[in-house]
Amino acid sequence: MAVWQCPNCGREFTRRNTKHSCGEPLETIDAYIAAQPEPVQNYLNQVRDTIRAALPDVQECLSWRMPTYWHRQNIIHFAAFKNHLGIYPGSEAIEHFRDRLAPYAFSKGAVQLPYNQPLPLDLITEIAQWCYQRAVNPS
């Protein structure tokens, strides 16, 4: 029995105000970025350009509705949220870079980069390269 129905897409849920994405999934990273609010697009493009420069040989795709960088396995993802940009390098990377991530909110596999702060592009580069090395040279 539905408890809540999204006023935008009409989808029904068993819990009130369940967060979800309305509409069809986006098919490209360009479309993903273009679908975000204009002020957020600059942050997303900076992160995308940074990861692409750091990992020129990886495949860029959407996975779990997020921009994803793949080489034999998922390397790193990012996603836009209301107040922050999420970077998803996985739990091993978070543990490895824990001290340098201290200024940001982070969890087992994700770090939140607020839109009201400069992006740590050098750190994003290092994390992406570290994740890539772990993927191509698993220990």
In a domain, 50, yes or no: yes
* Closest C-alpha among 61, 31, 26, 57 to residue 128: 57
Report the number of distinct structural domains present in the chain. 1
DSSP-H helix ranges across 10-120 = 29-34, 38-54, 91-96
Tell me whether residue 13 is in a domain: no
Whether the pTM exceeds 0.85: the reply is no
Is there a domain that residue 128 lies in? Answer: yes
Lowest mean per-residue pLDDT among 9-13, 51-55, 114-118: 9-13
Region of poorest pLDDT, from 3-12, 44-53, 84-93: 3-12
Residue 84 belongs to domain with CATH number: 3.90.1150.200
In a domain, 21, yes or no: no
- Per the CB < 8 A criterion, the answer to whether 77 and 67 are in contact is yes
CA nearest to 120, candidates 19, 9, 33, 46: 46
Task: Identify whether 18 is part of a domain.
Answer: no
- Domain assignment present for 4: no
Largest CA distance in the chain: 49
Q: Is 19 domain-assigned?
A: no
Q: What mean pLDDT, rounded, does the chain reach?
A: 90
**What's the average model confidence in pLDDT over 109-116?**
97
Question: Which structural domain, as residue segments, surrounds residue 69?
Answer: 26-136
- The answer to the question of residue 71 being in a domain is yes
State residue 19's pLDDT score. Answer: 62
State the pLDDT confidence band at 112, using cuts at 50, 70 and 90. very high
Mean pLDDT, residues 96-119 taken together: 96
pLDDT at 42 over 90: yes
